[in-house]
Amino acid sequence: MFNRKQLMTRIIRCSEQNVPITNYGVAIAEINGILDRVIEVFKK
C-alpha cells in the first residue's frame, strides 16, 4: 500500500510525462460496459 506522498509523486510524474492513469475499478467498469451507470450519480 502506498502512502499519500508516494501516490501523489507517481501521479505528478505521470502527469508531467503525459502518461494517462486510471483507477482499476474504473477500468473494470468500462471493460464490463457499466461505466456510464457507475458514474451516473456524479452527473447530478
What does the pLDDT look like over 11-27, one tens digit per residue?
999 999 999 999 999 99
Whether the full predicted model's pTM is greater than 0.95, yes or no, is no
Range of the domain at 19: 4-43
Who wins on pLDDT, 44 or 21?
21
Burial of 24 (0-12, 13-18, 19+ CB in 10 A): exposed
What average pLDDT does the chain have? 94
Q: What is the pLDDT of residue 1?
A: 83
How many domains is the chain partitioned into structurally?
1
Q: 44: Cβ–Cβ under 8 A, 6 or more apart, which residues?
A: none
Cell digits for 24? 482499476
Is the pLDDT reported for residue 9 higher than 80? yes
Is the pLDDT reported for residue 30 higher than 90? yes
